Chains A and B, each alone.
Chain A
């Protein structure tokens, strides 16, 4: 459905969109596993880290942390280290990781090998959300093929390195995507975030140094090693944007970092549907604060978005058009947080439930004029008090909606019982 015709040159999606990339022969014919082979047999860990640092690669899971810097935090001398791949992809509006895995699972396997060899981890767990059944089959097959080729297991690429890869299922919990909750889940417990510090890089899985990295982040590694960091940087650097919602062509698009929101929506995703107007867009998943028409020309990069009061997050653009009611949109977002809160800390557990109850009243025609101040008040109590970013992502969007779409709330409340759903 999506077209890449508009893309000048795609270095990531090229692998995904080419037929047959789930097969190792095809992947290798196109140059696949060359980068991993170089890392395992030619380059030193420091050289690889330098290349990644030079590329400017930042985590694609949401927090946007510089990848090379995270690798440097891993104690070199530790005898046991792990790589844990974050394939939980739960941020609403995000589907790039699934697209990568289903399109070219070998790209992920190769990225994993590069990371594991560089930091010196012999064991890798891919935490893959359970709903990606097809992705799981393809990934299992790709790992088996790579193992048969001598790329996974003992003495990979004939080197002294050994890398084992185990795919581990998630079980339906958004919070399990948060890296410390993910580690808890991987240890067989309830996915509740851990106190940081210590950070996973120092004490992660089984309290050993652990590199937790998003699927897409790892998929960038073969490209960076393959093209060289300079060329990679010249390309933008490239980012995968998941664009969905009220657009003509929802899909994953590769665009340079800093592409405008307008270009993503109107050039890449085909613009708004006939007769519909742009109303708002979440630039980085539901967890980011939405942007409005005035922000359409904002650049989609971490700094510009921070200035605009929001964030790049997982680069998942959810587009809302004028047919949608912002109160309903926010109510749905809040319900999501309420249902996905792990329940560990007071403000997130109680605050999301309370806000959801207030929304429910408003939507059912039982809103009161003081409810808007109440929502602001609860949001205020949650701000800066939650244990992890899940709870913290509720107040900014809610407060922004109360400011920018106050009329929609007021209309709902004024209509009261007569308009109740």
Chain B
């Protein structure tokens, strides 16, 4: 080994100390690895060095000028000084120049106490300024949309935020404008920034120029208590710090976890903690009396539920069904599964509440078939019906990094994705015609010659009318090219629910079957936890009839959701940031949750509720006894039924920012979600007399909803995309499970008072 060292390692002297580092290491990194501090501003270790701020200048023997340590590769025998008089003078000069236009309003700046500029001015600064001219004066702060504020005079033009958008996120959200001393970062004409990752720029801004509008002036770093936990929105399972003060989560920050989220978060995670402290959390059990839900004690409520469960058991086995899991921890899911299987004795449980009966989702287990890290090493990515930035944003960052290393991206979708610019190939067709596109990909040269091909099949593809065909095509594609097929389906802790047994047992029904069974009177009691089937089920009538066909509905909820409103007993549940435990992410990795705050009122963990019920039913259970259920084997799905397809179809798509029960209660995210809307192609809009941003009524055979129309070629002719997740806009009611696809008519809604409002 030692004999090989010269080829792979170099030894240099930094401030008189010999340091051996792998070849290719920069002087900055070498110094840092040896504990020598070199001040930096523009350098960020997740991006290639830029060498712009000139703060990291060092003196190198035999080099005539000072060198930037961040860009200089360490070489054998190099002799570096980070403290020579010339270096000190340069550092003082850079800081003096940077502070020329910096307001020094540290006492009222959010960054105060955790500001690299403040620290370095203290350590390396000249301690005086010779600048007597007027400082740059900007009306402050500039708001760049609902979540981001920019104090331009605090900006030191390090370009980190701009490069984050170019290199890491690929969304070019913030850019530089003008040039020279007039340079500014921001958006064109200070328009709201368009990004799903902007929180990261707040995190990496080395001064207080970019700040969170939801956090500004709320706390100083030193009165915050950071709790290491996991984000539970989309299923990637990003590691986070929940910064807590006075029993409230004030902000979320990325916690570095190279194997999952690296150093990043999406904005749903970054700004998505507000719901925890929402004022309308349920704090006591509710029991339906005289037709109304009324407050009750835990004993009353639990006794009632236990009695109903026992009564059902007396009538025979399997007359109870359970739906839900996405918002449960692993421990909750395991407790639920054990409770229903072993205590209640029913095989009818399922977490896949939003899966239709005839798509492809019920036939396969959900999640990635490789680790995120392996996936990131792929050289070809095929996204089929997977709107990655809307569904698994941080997973996109890994794919983007792979693309930058030379991997290719192929998109098969019914929508022009926002990342299309990064794709080598984009295959578009209407939602019900995607399967042939996938089949044709086997002939694509790049895909065929890929060495590590990753095909991600998304919800839109799997649940569509073509789902089974798509699954088959995708499956045969990966077999031919020796790739991996991933089922990019499921959110939150769906993956933990799947792993810990919230799936039908032997003879048990899947979610659509449970709903159909309930409608047919097969169940005495329906139990829901960690889910809101009233809005999640994609057949509007299925839930309604299930609800009316079942005698008794028990719901665990944090909010009075639509499902809870229809319940007989509502038990107030803790939300995930209030619980210790674990969740499972989409690659099957177990991630720790830590209770950051206490829950409101008498709310309890789901697991505890099941334990209490079990105790009342005569069984006391330990948590470790849950049988681990292997994911269901892959079932060959049936061919889709042929049928005439309507000329304009409705497709229910997912969006990252919604106004659902969690995000809809977070400041900033509500505004990012905007109003419920549909996307209609200009050709269809013209035919229907629909104008951009006007209100339209979407009418199907089954229901109608009023939403805003956005006329855009993001969708294709013959297909209207509508986003679910807006509470009070029941887009799920528009369709039935069959026949699919559902035809739709779109009509402009005349503004009240005629043509000219």
Contact = CB atoms under 8 A, between A and B. Distances in A.
Let me know if chains A and B touch directly in the complex, using CB atoms closer than 8 Å: yes
B51 A341 contact: no
A358 B54 CA distance: 23
A377 B101 CA distance: 18
B54 A387 contact: yes
Interface in A350-403: 350-354, 357-358, 361, 374, 377, 380-382, 384-387
Contacts of A352: 180-181
Given A345-B54, A346-B53, A347-B93, A385 B98 contact: no
B349 interface: no
Contacts of B27: none
B122 interface: no
B179 A343 contact: yes
B50 interface: yes
B100 interface: yes
Given A350-B98, A377-B130, A385 B93 contact: yes
A381 B125 CA distance: 13
A94 B212 CA distance: 49
B181 A374 contact: no
Nearest to A381: B93
B52 to A, nearest CB: 5
B180 A385 contact: no
Contacts of B90: 381, 384-385
Interface residues of B, number: 34
Given A352-B181, A385-B90, A385-B94, A345 B176 contact: no
Contacts, number: 90
Contacts of B394: none
A173 interface: yes
Interface in B151-196: 156-157, 159, 176, 178-183
A386 B92 CA distance: 14
A368 B53 CA distance: 30
A338 interface: yes
A395 to B, nearest CB: 11
B181 A190 contact: no
Interface string A141-185: 000000000000000000000000000000001000000000000
Given A349-B157, A350-B101, A384 B181 contact: no
Interface in B88-142: 89-90, 92-94, 96-98, 100-101, 130-131, 133
A77 B93 CA distance: 45
A195 interface: yes
A387 B94 contact: no
A387 B51 contact: yes
Contacts of A385: 54, 57, 66, 90, 93-94
B543 to A, nearest CB: 52
Contacts of B57: 385
Nearest to A361: B133
A173 B178 CA distance: 11
Nearest to A390: B180
B55 A349 contact: no
In the complex, which range does the number of interface residues on chain A fall in?
20 to 34
A313 B40 CA distance: 33
A215 interface: no
Contacts of A346: 52-55, 94, 97-98, 156-157
A351 B93 CA distance: 10
Contacts of B93: 347, 380-382, 385
Contact of B181 (A341, A382, A387): A341
B424 interface: no
A344 interface: yes
B118 to A, nearest CB: 17
A347 B159 CA distance: 15
Interface in B54-93: 54-55, 57, 65-66, 71, 89-90, 92-93
Given A346-B94, A351-B97, A374-B130, A387 B52 contact: yes
Contacts of B94: 346-347, 381, 385
A299 to B, nearest CB: 25
Nearest to B175: A190
A345 B98 CA distance: 10
A338 B97 contact: no
A340 interface: yes
B49 interface: yes
A384 B66 contact: yes
B214 to A, nearest CB: 31
B90 to A, nearest CB: 5
A419 interface: no
A351 B90 CA distance: 13
Contacts of B51: 195, 345, 387
Given A343-B176, A357-B133, A349 B181 contact: yes
A221 interface: no
A350 B97 contact: yes
A351 B95 CA distance: 12
B180 A195 contact: no
Given A354-B97, A385-B90, A385-B93, A340 B52 contact: no
Given A195-B71, A387-B51, A353 B65 contact: no
Nearest to B158: A346
Interface in B2-53: 49-53
A385 B59 CA distance: 11
A35 to B, nearest CB: 39
A347 B66 contact: no
Given A347-B93, A354-B100, A385-B94, A342 B181 contact: no
Contact of A338 (B89, B159, B178, B180): B180
A339 interface: yes
Contacts of B130: 374, 377
A262 B96 CA distance: 43
B52 A344 contact: yes
Contacts of B65: 384
A343 B97 contact: no
Contacts of A387: 51-52, 54
Given A351-B97, A381-B96, A345 B133 contact: no
A326 to B, nearest CB: 23
A3 to B, nearest CB: 40
Nearest to B48: A195
Contacts of A377: 130
Which of A339, A344, A354, A384 gathers most chain B CB within 10 Å? A344
A352 to B, nearest CB: 7
A88 B180 CA distance: 19
Contacts of B101: 350
B28 to A, nearest CB: 13
B57 to A, nearest CB: 6
A401 to B, nearest CB: 20
Which of A361, A377, A382, A385 gathers most chain B CB within 10 Å? A385
Given A350-B97, A381-B96, A342 B179 contact: yes
A354 B134 CA distance: 10
Given A195-B50, A345-B54, A387-B51, A381 B97 contact: yes
A34 B133 CA distance: 61
A190 B52 contact: no
Contact of B97 (A173, A339, A347, A374): A347
B54 A347 contact: yes
A349 B180 contact: yes
Contacts of B52: 344-346, 387
A125 B277 CA distance: 60
Which of A349, A357, A386 gathers most chain B CB within 10 Å? A349
Given A338-B181, A357-B133, A387-B51, 9 more contacts: A338-B180, A341-B180, A343-B182, A345-B51, A345-B54, A346-B97, A346-B156, A374-B130, A384-B66
4 closest pairs, A vs B, by CB? A381-B93, A343-B183, A353-B181, A341-B180
26 contacts: A195-B49, A195-B71, A338-B180, A338-B181, A340-B180, A341-B181, A342-B179, A342-B180, A343-B157, A343-B178, A343-B181, A343-B182, A344-B52, A345-B54, A346-B53, A346-B157, A347-B97, A349-B181, A351-B97, A354-B100, A374-B130, A381-B96, A385-B66, A385-B94, A386-B54, A387-B54
